[in-house]
């Protein structure tokens, strides 16, 4: 009989935790800021010949570089502040993105001029990861959680990164 009550207590405790977790999840809100920048890059490996680079990366391996008009979406999550009605002030989020991303990337050569991309292949995937690493701490300091970096390289190609 005592074992039965202990089992019921454990089941009740688990259900309570799941209920509280689901309420917290329901109270979670997401907000996204969109920004734009233009940058040049070249997809290539220095240990490959020009022919190998062309075979693997296609015209994106052009030794004379090429550029994109990128669209960046930064999504943060958290709870709405009762006093302001905001998750975060979007002006503050915009400043973080501008100072940590746009100023470093806009009208730059990603391979040569962007500090957080040094030594990395300048793919959109690696760029999204690099952007995440640049903004995750300042966003946390705002009291929010970085949820997703979505980076459009073209209207047809984009990457989503949810941290790692």
Check which CATH number belongs to the domain holding 50 and give it.
Answer: 3.30.479.10
pLDDT of 93: 98
Q: Is residue 13 part of a domain?
A: no
Per the domain annotation, does 151 fall within a domain?
yes
pLDDT at 26: 55
Residue 31, H or E segment = strand 29-41
Residue 148 known to be catalytic: no
Residue 95 lies in a domain: yes
Domain annotation covers residue 12: no
Give the residue, 98 or 15, on which the prediction is more confident: 98
Number of domains composing the chain? 1
Q: Please choose, from the candidates 161, 163, 151, 132, the residue with its C-alpha nearest in 3D space to the C-alpha of residue 72.
A: 151
Active site residue 79: no
Catalytic residue among 41, 60, 68, 134: 60
Q: Would you say residue 10 lies in a domain? A: no
pLDDT in the model for residue 5:
58
The predicted pLDDT at position 17 comes to: 63
Tell me if residue 51 is catalytic: no
Residue 19 pLDDT more than 80?
no
3-class DSSP state for residue 149?
Answer: strand
pTM above 0.95, yes or no: no
**Is residue 21 scored above 90 in pLDDT?**
no
**Which residues form the domain of 126?**
29-161
Set 36, 66, 79, 107: catalytic member = 107
């Amino acid at each position: 009989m005592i074992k039965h009550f202990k089992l019921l207590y454990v089941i009740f405790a688990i259900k309570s935790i799941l209920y509280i977790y689901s309420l917290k999840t329901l109270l979670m809100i997401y907000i996204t800021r969109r920004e734009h920048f233009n940058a040049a890059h070249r997809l290539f490996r220095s240990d490959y010949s020009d022919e190998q680079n062309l075979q693997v990366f296609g015209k994106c391996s052009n030794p004379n570089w090429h550029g994109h008009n990128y669209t960046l979406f930064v999504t943060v999550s958290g709870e709405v502040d009762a006093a302001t009605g905001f998750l975060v002030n979007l002006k503050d989020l915009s400043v973080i993105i501008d100072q940590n991303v746009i100023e470093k990337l806009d009208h730059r050569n990603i391979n040569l001029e962007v500090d957080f991309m040094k030594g990395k292949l300048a793919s959109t995937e690696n760029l999204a990861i690099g952007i995440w690493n640049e903004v995750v701490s300042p966003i946390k300091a705002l009291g929010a959680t970085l949820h997703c970096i979505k980076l459009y390289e073209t209207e047809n190609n984009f990457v989503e990164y949810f941290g790692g």
